[in-house]
Amino acid sequence: MRILITGASGFIGQRLLQALSGSAATEVDQLIALRRTPSSSNPAETSSPMEWRTCDLFSLAQTEAATQGADVGIYLVHSMMPAARLTQSRFEDTDLLLADNFARACKRNGVKTILYLGGLIPETRPLSAHLQSRLEVEAALASYGAKVITLRAGLIIGQEGSSFQLLSTLVRRLPVLICPKWTRSKTQPIAASDLVQTLLEVIRKHTQVPAGSYDIGSPSVITYQKLMETTAEELGLKRRFFSVPFFTPGLSLLWVQLITGASRNLILPLIQSLKHEMLVKNAELWQWLRPTDTTPPALLDLSLALKEAIRTPQPTSSRASFALSLRESTRQRKAALKKKSEVRSIQRLTRPEGWRAEAVATAYFRWLPRKLSPLIHVSRDKTGVWSFHFFPLPWVLLKLAETPERSTPDRALFLIRGGLLVSRQSPPLARLEFREVLGGKVVLAAIQEFVPSLPWVIYKFTQAIIHLWVMSAFEHHLRTGED
């Protein structure tokens, strides 16, 4: 069995790698771990026979190359943090693009099974954007024919988990905690060790588990306030908790961000999801994993899970953010993105009935000069290069080259080949694409790896804003037929 793990340098990815390269190694013929940037500092790389591959999941070509030779793909990616100096995208559209890339690559390389770690889905509707995104990722991964097994889990109790770090940081730093209405929502967290053990069992018996979604969680049903109270007890801290009768996601965001220093992009989607009760609704997974055992596994209860998370020495990690505070981790991430000055812009568009992505792209090039007439003129030469001119000046603002060898009816790809608005430092694979996702229900328009030539402050408050306005107007045109 040849196993590939995305998110291999993350919280659960690290633990799963250690487990697979240890006692389970005899069942694994090849273990492939993906990471976004090359590194020589990961201790797991020298202590186990796994193969590390560098892959930017935003690139379909890189993802196709990285998934070669795998039978089972483990998808542990969840992208709520910005991936460029300027990210013009909702996190759910970013997640959708990444999942679509992975699913397309798995189809191309014959990956038979995808195992995805998602979130518990409540019965109440409408869902928060965070939970709706988890459902979309499930659907995107299953869009190209692979068998998809989804494990849905709530809050994961483990030292390096971002949600648990937020919770424990609040408890450690605040002697008095004001608890809004969302802290009385019920949940069933799960210990990181139990989650990894369950993943191992599913990997070993993936041929016996039908495609579908399966809930997992500890036997403890608890409110978030009680979870914080229990965490304080396990830490040996005396804390006072006062309940207030309103939800206040905005105030909760400011409160948590001020105390923990974590990014707004991480905190807000999580808080918005806390109005839902995150409970295990079925235990169907265990009838497939252990058909001869009538009792579900003895997962750790909350108290034991917290003891394990708090008292176990933190495992060595290649990611420096594990050894830093949330505040310092956020600062370092921003500094790293600032150095590259790249722009990533992803917008969700309506797909008119009967249209493919290539038709949406053609409509865009025809609609834009009409919308911005007489300021913008667009032309196409015999080689398939589209040029954007600012009337009446003769200079080319932007050049986009068609790439028929990488385009399909459901994905139109154009490389950014120059122009006054493009920096010379812009990577050779800077690109604009239009692609169908979710079985053609939606089209994503994405600009990636683009580096502008304008000074950053000027770009951010001129060209970047104009681009968002243009894409919003184009979405309106696709939806209504009006300019």
CATH architecture of 341-480: 2-Layer Sandwich (3.30)
Kind and range of the H or E element at 472? Answer: helix 463-480
Domain residues of the chain, as ranges?
A: 2-337, 341-480
Q: pTM higher than 0.85, yes or no?
A: yes
Count CB neighbours of 54 within 10 A: 13
Cβ burial of 304 (10 Å; 0-12, 13-18, 19+) is middle
Cis geometry, peptide bond prior to residue 82 (ω within 30 degrees of 0) = no
In this prediction, residue 306 carries a pLDDT of: 86
Angle at the Cα of 86 from the Cα atoms of 433 and 106, rounded to 5 degrees: 40
CA gap 73, 113 in Å, rounded: 6
Fold for 2-337, please state it. Rossmann fold (3.40.50)
Q: What is the pLDDT of residues 440-454, one digit of tens each?
A: 999 999 999 999 999
In this prediction, residue 168 carries a pLDDT of: 87
In this prediction, residue 324 carries a pLDDT of: 47
Q: Taking phi first (over 0 means left), then psi (-120 to 50 degrees means alpha), and beta for anything else, what does residue 341 get?
A: left
Cis geometry, peptide bond prior to residue 394 (ω within 30 degrees of 0) = no
Give the mean pLDDT of 254-262.
76
Percent of the chain having pLDDT more than 70? Answer: 90
Angle at the Cα of 457 from the Cα atoms of 456 and 459, rounded to 5 degrees: 65
CA gap 483, 481 in Å, rounded: 7
Q: Which two tokens stand for residue 425?
A: 């430092």
Give the mean pLDDT of 426-430.
93
Give the mean pLDDT of 299-314.
76
Place of tokens 């809050």: 155
Angle at the Cα of 401 from the Cα atoms of 388 and 99, rounded to 5 degrees: 110
Query: What is the DSSP secondary structure assignment for residue 208, as one 8-state letter?
Result: T
Q: What is the pLDDT of residues 160-203, one digit of tens each?
A: 888 888 888 889 888 998 888 888 889 999 999 999 999 999 99
Kind and range of the H or E element at 434? Answer: strand 431-437
CA gap 349, 24 in Å, rounded: 44
Give the mean pLDDT of 314-341.
59
CA gap 264, 443 in Å, rounded: 27
Same fold, 2-337 and 341-480: no
CA gap 434, 409 in Å, rounded: 10
- Give yes or no for a contact between 400 and 416, defined as CB atoms under 8 angstroms apart: yes
Quick check: 88 pLDDT over 60? yes
Quick check: 464 pLDDT over 50? yes
